[in-house]
Amino acid sequence: MSAIKTFKRPNALSSKEFTYCPGCHHGIVHRLIAEIIDEFEIQGKTLMVAPVGCSVFAYTFFDVDGTVAAHGRAPAVATGMKRARPDNIVFTYQGDGDLAAIGTAEIIHAANRGEKITTIFINNAIYGMTGGQMAPTTLLGMKTTTSPYGRKAENEGYPIHVCELLKETAGVAYLERVTVNSPSEVIKAKKAIKKAFTAQIKGLGFSLVEVLSTCPTNWGMSPKEAMKWLDENMKKEFPIGVFVDKVGDEK
Amino acid sequence: MSEKLMVKGNEAMAEAAIRAGCRLYFGYPITPQSELTEYMARRLPEVKGTFLQSESEVAAVNMIYGAASTGTRVMTSTSSPGFSLMQEGVSYITGAQLPCVFINVVRGGPGLGDIQPAQSDYFQGTKGGGHGDYRLITLAPSSIQEAVDLIPLAFELADEYRNPSLILADGMLGQMMEPVSFSEFKDLSELPDHSDWAMQGNEGREPHKITSFDIDPNKLEEMNMVYNEKYKEIMEKEVRYEATQVKDAEYIMVAYGTMGRILSNVLKMARNEGIKVGLFRPISLWPFPYKALNDLIKGKKGVLTVEMSTGQMVEDVKLGVNGEIPVNFYGRTGGVVPTPNEVLEQLKQMIGRGE
């Protein structure tokens, strides 16, 4: 008789209800991280650093020791933890405003030091929690509450490409950009997150997975429209793929 | 206590921290405290510690937040502009109730200022340079030996109250050399492990959550009341000061840190001239020794507060004196250090014997 597989909440997720809007991708990504923590059996030694942004409560959604950093500073906080306790697994969870605007220095230097931490980076091209302002990753022409006429390169510059910047830093062990807007993409994203944690467990260096995500609420779309918009617009600006892989494939 | 060694202030403070059991340091170079950072870089690997030069003071203070979250003894050091950059993190660290030690080797300000000794960061240390209702345990040494002796206390108070401590030094203390005797190395197995609250992995227990955050105002107020009860207890128990020749004094001079030390010379000079003066030197700037000062000034004729600033601690002196006798102030700022003769002249003017 074959074992029955039951779809259930991963152990590494707490019983707290998510605070995310319908159609938002945070929930999917949270679950993937929790599944990886369960599969590696590292729940008892994982330390989590949440950001400031929509996922500010993320430290309560995971059933691991957790904190919330000042805006943008999660990689520095995680560095302090990892240097204090190298045997623990430390990950940060950050949005685009947190990581790619106010926290640009911290992420680049953590990556460049090869800090043995893992970062999950949610890029939805907009500030969610504060109500739909322009992010560093907002697309040209995209309307937000602080770019009401559409983002213009002359005034606001260009969408920043985090993976493309970080791939030049020698301390990076794993770097991939993924999406989670179809079942097959979710499976690929899970593999990417698994590899990122593997990089840390093996002590290879810094790892980051960027997840292109939707924000139906602040994009002013239905969840379904948002998925389509992500495919048609965000993926053009931010091509998905592996940028750095020092982990290699499982044999 | 070991034999006396001739040591530079910045290096002595670093060695004292290591002997107090600190094996983890994050920091960013800034004059006039860089020798402290450099000493840590050289010395920590020798004692199986970890040194990391951060990309900024902003990163340094957040590394401190992370390390302190795990219950590990940790510190940083900086000078005025760098401590300004750290204020965001200081606020978070107090809110999250994390024990750690800061050393500010104060230089002239505001802005880029200069690199000479100053006391113009008193407000920043004692009144909260960051946002929110919080306090820093602020200790002000007046000699290198006293700095070396206060550093283990700073760590112990931080642990006891789960609140950061600040050693408020200045460029004079950082840069000068003096004979110092160090205490023995603390046995690391005696350090508190903080496993009852720290983030060390939740194997076999409920997860620990460390935060300064609650979206519910009533709960955030409750958190603030917890801090406040702690602050009340610190104000009750942790007041430190030195009072010299105050009994028969008609006038009281008040100064802290390097200025306090200079005033101990002024005290001798004045006494030699028959001026009945005493010296009150707060060692804990927060909690400030209000009551001790108030008890002391009963029946005296006046107070002279001297600072290397345009007048910051004098506000606390006035609160302590509470209008009972006149409080005068003399200060030099921008990195200028008043000479004993200069202060003696001020004292004489105050008591109506000016030349």
**Structure-block tokens of residue B47:** 């004692």
Q: B22, B93, B131, B200: best mutation site toward chain A, by most A Cβ within 10 Å?
A: B200
pLDDT given for residue B243 in this prediction: 98
B65 interfaces chain A, CB cutoff of 8 Å: yes
Give yes or no for B26 touching A (CB within 8 A): yes
Cα–Cα distance for residue pair B314/B336, rounded to 1 Å: 18
3-state SS class at A36: helix
The answer to whether A114 and A171 are in contact (CB under 8 A) is yes
HSE (CB half, 13 Å, CA atoms) of B235? Answer: 11
pLDDT above 90 as % of chain A: 96
- Torsion, CA A175, CA A179, CA A180, CA A185, rounded to 10: -90
Distance, CA of B299 to CA of A201 (rounded, Å): 70
B68 touches chain A (CB under 8 A): yes
pLDDT band for A16, please (50, 70, 90 cuts).
Answer: very high
User: CB distance A83–B52 less than 8 Å?
Assistant: yes
Mutation target among A16, A38, A65 for the B interface, most CBs of B within 10 A: A65
**Contacts with A84 from chain B: Cβ below 8 Å:** 24, 50, 66-67, 70, 72, 74
DSSP state of A120: E
- The alpha carbon of residue B276 is apart from the nearest alpha carbon of chain A, in Å, by 53
B58 and chain A in contact, CB less than 8 A: yes
CB atoms A83 and B199 under 8 Å? no
Helix-, strand-, coil-residue percentages of chain B, each rounded to 5? 40, 20, 40
Mean local confidence (pLDDT), A136-143: 98
Among candidate residues A213, A183, A179, A177, the one with its CA nearest the CA of residue A196: A177
**What values do phi and psi take at B251, rounded to 5?**
-125, 150
Average pLDDT value for residue range A173-199: 98
What pLDDT is recorded for position A249?
A: 85
Interface A–B counts its CB contacts (< 8 A) at 126
Q: pLDDT per residue over A40-87, tens digit each?
A: 999 999 999 999 999 999 999 999 999 999 999 999 999 999 999 999
Running DSSP on this structure, what letter comes out for residue B354?
A: -
Q: How far is CA A83 from CA A110, B154, B250, in A?
A: 12, 22, 55
Query: Which of A14, A66, A84 lies closest to B74 in CB terms?
Result: A84
Q: Is the pLDDT of residue A250 over 90?
A: no
Q: What is the pLDDT of residues B237-271, one digit of tens each?
A: 999 999 999 999 999 999 999 999 999 999 999 99
Q: Which residues of chain B have pLDDT under 50?
A: none
- The two tokens of residue A160 are 């920043």
Q: Around Cβ B22, how many Cβ atoms within 10 Å?
A: 25
Mean pLDDT, all residues of chain A: 97
Residue B183 contacts A, CB cutoff 8 Å: no
Residues of A in contact with B56 (CB under 8 A): 105
**Is a pLDDT exceeding 70 seen at residue A1?**
no
Within 201-260 of B, beta carbons closer than 8 Å to A belong to: 201-204, 207-211, 213
Residue A6 pLDDT:
84
Q: Residue B3 has what pLDDT?
A: 87
Instruction: Say which amino acid occupies A91.
Output: F
What is the model's pLDDT at position B354?
60
Q: Which residue is closest to A62 within chain B, CA to CA?
A: B207
- Average of per-residue pLDDT across A241-251: 90
Q: What are B77-94's pLDDT values in tens digits? A: 999 999 999 999 999 999
